[in-house]
A and B are shown apart, each in its own frame.
Chain A
Amino acid sequence: DTGVSQDPRHKITKRGQNVTFRCDPISEHNRLYWYRQTLGQGPEFLTYFQNEAQLEKSRLLSDRFSAERPKGSFSTLEIQRTEQGDSAMYLCASSSGRLETQYFGPGTRLLVL
């Protein structure tokens, strides 16, 4: 069973550019979560999907953030018009059910110059 994978692992961009991150969950996991982790802090929940349905998005940090999971498999997280404050590690996790353990991917480190 392969684990959660994320791409890219690192991203450097200039302020104002759009960026998109991809997450591939563990196969057959129907739940997929996105978290953000800033330096020296614990991860902070952003949004989650059950299959292709995005069931919670009120925690997305602003309307510049959006996520999709079009076929219930991989997911993308997009940040439009990036700001320096968006620099962080973006973590994806998946689980096999609502009350099941979440397993995390290696994360995407974003640096906005």
Chain B
Amino acid sequence: AQKVTQAQTEISVVEKEDVTLDCVYETRDTTYYLFWYKQPPSGELVFLIRRNSFDEQNEISGRYSWNFQKSTSSFNFTITASQVVDSAVYFCALSEAGNAGNMLTFGGGTRLMVKP
């Protein structure tokens, strides 16, 4: 069965600090996809990134970077020089290619509060 764990329920930082959100996953499938979504107070889930299990290259997009390590089953997300607009709940999610429905399994989310 697939499972995603986000151990940090809430993180508070001061603007311009770097912050890393942790994500650990479990799956028996050899082909799977990992995602990060952002949920601002408005409620809509905003897609941030998707990685497949065969691509362990780290990725950087502006102030965002992602570190995928299959050896530790982790897919961590770092925000550099955080801003107040980064305040939101962030979800890590997993889908297995072997699952016909390709439904997403989400972690419990990490609430990030960036204070000015």
Contacts and interface: CB of A to CB of B under 8 A. Distances in A.
Q: Do A and B actually bind? A: yes
Interface of A: 31, 33, 35, 40-45, 48, 55-56, 59, 89, 91, 93, 95, 98-99, 101-107, 109
Given A101-B35, A104-B37, A91 B109 contact: no
Nearest to A56: B101
B27 to A, nearest CB: 15
Given A41-B109, A42-B91, A42-B109, A98 B44 contact: no
Contact of B45 (A40, A59, A91): A91
Interface in B12-45: 33, 35, 37, 42-45
12 contacts: A42-B108, A42-B109, A43-B106, A98-B100, A99-B95, A102-B47, A103-B47, A104-B46, A106-B42, A106-B43, A106-B44, A107-B44
Contacts of A48: 101, 103
Interface of B: 4, 33, 35, 37, 42-47, 50, 91, 93, 95, 97, 100-109
A46 B113 CA distance: 30
B98 to A, nearest CB: 11
Contact of B91 (A43, A99, A105): A43
Contacts of A107: 43-44
Given A101-B50, A107-B43, A45 B103 contact: yes
Contacts, number: 61
A57 B102 CA distance: 13
Contacts of B45: 43, 91, 93, 104
A55 B100 contact: yes
B47 A101 contact: yes
A99 B33 contact: yes
B101 A55 contact: yes
B93 to A, nearest CB: 8
Contacts of B109: 40-42
A35 B103 CA distance: 9
A102 B95 CA distance: 11
